[in-house]
Structure 1
Amino acid sequence: MILAAIDIGSNAARLLINEASVYTDGSVDFTKLNLLRIPLRLGFDVFDKGAISEEKRRKLLNTIKTYKLLMEIYGVQGLKACATSAMRDAVNGQEVLEEIKRETGVTINIITGQEEANIIYETHIAENLNAEKSYMYIDVGGGSTEITLFSNNKVVFKESFNIGTIRLLHDKVTEEQWEHMKWFIKTNVKDYQPIEAIGSGGNINKIFSISKRKEGKPLPLELLKDYYKELSYNTVEERKHIYHLRSDRADVIVPALHIYTSVMRWADAEEIYVPKIGLADGLVKMLYKEMTT
C-alpha cells in the first residue's frame, strides 16, 4: 500500500511518500519512496503581518499541484495532509486552504498544537527503547515546539508551545512564554527521572548529520551546547559555507539549538536520540491505521 503525507509547516512544506508492507507475523514496515521539501517560509509572513501574502499563497498552491502530480505518478492510495503553526495563526489560513481544495482537490486540515504532538507520538519510537527510562519527544518547528513525555509504557503529557525558530528570528517570543515552558517542563518531569530526549525536526537531523555520529547513537547535551556557541559566532553566510547549509536552514538552526538545549536542561536530559522522524511520518502511520482498521 502506497501512502502519502503532506505537512505544511511554518518553514517548509513536505511531501512524504511511503510504501507500507505487511508481513505474515502482522508486523508493518514503512519504506520511504520519496521525501520532498519546499522552503515556503510561511511563518515569515504570518508572524510579522498576521496573514499569508499573495506571493506565498501562489507558491503554496503551485507546491500542492506539484505534489499531486508526484502522488499520481507513484500511485498513492491514501493521503493525509495538515498545516501547523503558521496556518493556525494566519487570518486567511482557512481561505487559502479552501482555494487549494478547489484548485487541486487536496484537503489540508489545520491542526492544533495538541494534535501535532499526538501525531508525532504516533511514530512510537519510545516504545522500542529501554522501558526503565522516561523519554521526552521534542519536536521543534518554525512556529511551535511540541513536547511529549513517555514513561512506564504510557504518555505522561503532550504539550505544544508557541515557541519556534521563525518566531525567535522575528523576536515574537516573550520572556513570559519562555518562563511558562520552563515552569511546565520542570514541574511535570521531576517524578520521571532519568529522562532521555528524542528529537525530531530538520534542524536536529542536520546537527546529527554534521556530528557524524553512528545511526542510533545519541547526541550529548554538551555537544549541542558547543554547536550552539560555534554556530552563533558565525554569520548566516559563514554557516552556509562552513557547514554546507541551505539558506533556509542556516538562519533557523541557531534558534532551534537554543530551544533543544533549553528544554533538555530543564528536563535534566543529558542525551538526545535523533531517529529521523517527523510529523509526516506520524501522519502516514495514522493514515495506515485508519485505512486498515
Structure 2
Amino acid sequence: MPPSLQPLSGASPLRAPPPQLFAALDLGTNNCRLLIGAPVRGGFRVVESFSRVVRLGEGLARSGTLSEPAMERTLAALSACADRLERRPVRRLAAVATEACRRARNGQEFLTRAALETGLRPRIISPREEAELAMESCAPLLERGDRRAILFDIGGGSTEIAWIRTGPRPELIGYLSIPCGVVTLSEGEDCFTTRGFGAVVDDIADRLAAFDRLHCIGQEIRAGGVRLIGTSGTVTTLAGVVLALPRYNRQLVDGQRINADAADDALETLFAMGRAGLVAHPCVGPERADFVLPGCAVYAAIRRLWPMPEVTVADRGLREGMLMRLMRGDGGRAEGRGGDGGRGAA
C-alpha cells in the first residue's frame, strides 16, 4: 500500500459512509404503512417495511366520525412507526393521510392528537395527489408501445382511478375518486351473497361510466396501446391465486402481467370459498377475509367497463411514490416529526 494510503497508527480503516435514508408513511382507511429506503441507481433499496391493519375507517360511513377504538388501534400503529424511525438516521420523512381522515368530521382533530402522542404529523392529501403518487410508483411498469394507462387503486375508504398519458414522464390526464373502498363496502351490501356482490358491481360501474365517457376510454382501448394496472390488496390477492402461491410473496407478484380471464377465474374461486375459506387461505387470512370480496366487486366493475386482455399487478403505492419524490428532491411538503428539523420539512 502506498505510504499516502496507509491508515494512521491506531486509527480504524476508512469505512464507507452510511447510506442516506428516506421514509414514507401512508395512513389509510384500513392500513398504516411505513417504508424506509436508501437511494440506488434507478430507484431505491428497501431498508425496512412495516404494515398493520388498523381499520381507521371502521363505522365511518354510518357515523361520519372516527371511532375511539379505531383511533386507539391507529395510534398504536403510529407509535410502532415512530419507534422504527427513532432507530434509523432518516434524512427526510413524508407522511400522508387519505380518505378516512379526509372524510371524518374529526379527522384533523385525530391527526393533532397523533402528533402530540407519537410525534408524527401526517398531512391530509387530496384525491388528485393520491392518484399522482400512485402513478409515480407504478410508472416503471409501463412498457414501450403503451400510449395510455388506466391505473386503479382499490383502497379502504375510496377507489382511485387515474387516466394516464405515457411518455418519458407520465402525465395524469384525469382522475376519479369514488368514496367506496373495501372497508366502507364491507359495512354495506353483503358481498358474500350473489345479490349483494352484484349490487356493488352495478353501483361501481354506474359511478365509473361518466368518467369513461368524458375521456373516451373505451374508444382508446379499441385503438390499442392501453395498459390496465391495478395496485391494491385486491389485485395482488387475485394474482396470488392465479399463480397458485403457497403463501403471498411480493417478489413473485409485483409487476406480473396476468391474463384477465385467469383473474376472473380466481375471483370466482375466492367467492366460492366463503368467509371460512378466505380466513384459511394463505394469500388472505383472518385480517383481510371481510375485505377481499368487496374489493373483487370493484375489480369486476372495472373489468365490465374496460375489458382488457390482461392486468398488470403492482404491489406498490403511495409510499413508493413518496420515496421516489423525496429522493429526487421534488417531494414538495414533506411532513415528519415535530421539532425534528431535517425530517420535518422538505
Q: TM-score of the superposition, structure 1-length normalised?
A: 0.89
Larger displacement relative to structure 2 (96-105 or 181-190): 181-190
CA distance in 1, matches of 2:201, 2:268: 22
1:20 match: 39
Are residues 1:47 and 2:64 paired? Answer: no
The answer for unaligned runs of 5 or more in structure 1 is: 22-26
Residue 181 of structure 1 aligns with an amino acid whose one-letter code is: L
Are residues 1:99 and 2:127 paired? Answer: no
Aligned CA distance change for structure 1 residues 140 and 122 (closer, same or farther; 3 Å): same
1:159 match: 176
Is the contact between residue 35 and residue 46 of structure 2 (CA under 8 Å) also seen in structure 1? yes
Larger displacement relative to structure 2 (123-132 or 98-107): 123-132
Deviations 1:207-242 (A, max 9, x none): 222322865441122122222222122221211224
Q: CA RMSD in A?
A: 2.4
Deviations 1:62-100 (A, max 9, x none): 221211110121222111111111111111110010011
1:205 alignment partner, SS class: helix
Aligned pairs, number: 288
2:263 alignment partner, SS class: helix
Is the contact between residue 239 and residue 263 of structure 2 (CA under 8 Å) also seen in structure 1? no
After TM superposition, give the deviation of residue 175 of structure 1 in Å.
6.3
Q: Percent identity?
A: 25
After TM superposition, give the deviation of residue 253 of structure 1 in Å.
1.2
Is the contact between residue 186 and residue 266 of structure 1 (CA under 8 Å) also seen in structure 2? no
Residue 291 of structure 2 aligns with an amino acid whose one-letter code is: V
Are residues 1:223 and 2:242 paired? Answer: no
After TM superposition, give the deviation of residue 273 of structure 1 in Å.
0.8
Are residues 1:206 and 2:243 paired? Answer: no
After TM superposition, give the deviation of residue 53 of structure 1 in Å.
1.6
CA distance in 1, matches of 2:283, 2:24: 28
Are residues 1:150 and 2:164 paired? Answer: yes
Are residues 1:192 and 2:220 paired? Answer: yes
CA distance in 2, matches of 1:244, 1:271: 21
After TM superposition, give the deviation of residue 40 of structure 1 in Å.
0.6
CA distance in 1, matches of 2:285, 2:182: 15
Is the contact between residue 131 and residue 151 of structure 1 (CA under 8 Å) also seen in structure 2? no
1:24 match: none
CA distance in 1, matches of 2:127, 2:141: 22
1:64 match: 78
2:174 alignment partner, SS class: strand
Residue 197 of structure 1 aligns with an amino acid whose one-letter code is: L
Q: TM-score of the superposition, structure 2-length normalised?
A: 0.76
- Of 128, 149, 172, 1:135 maps to 149
- Of 82, 89, 103, 2:103 maps to 89
Deviations 1:119-141 (A, max 9, x none): 11112525741234422111110
Aligned CA distance change for structure 1 residues 208 and 175 (closer, same or farther; 3 Å): closer
CA distance in 2, matches of 1:254, 1:186: 27
Structure number, greater radius of gyration: 2
Is the contact between residue 210 and residue 243 of structure 1 (CA under 8 Å) also seen in structure 2? no
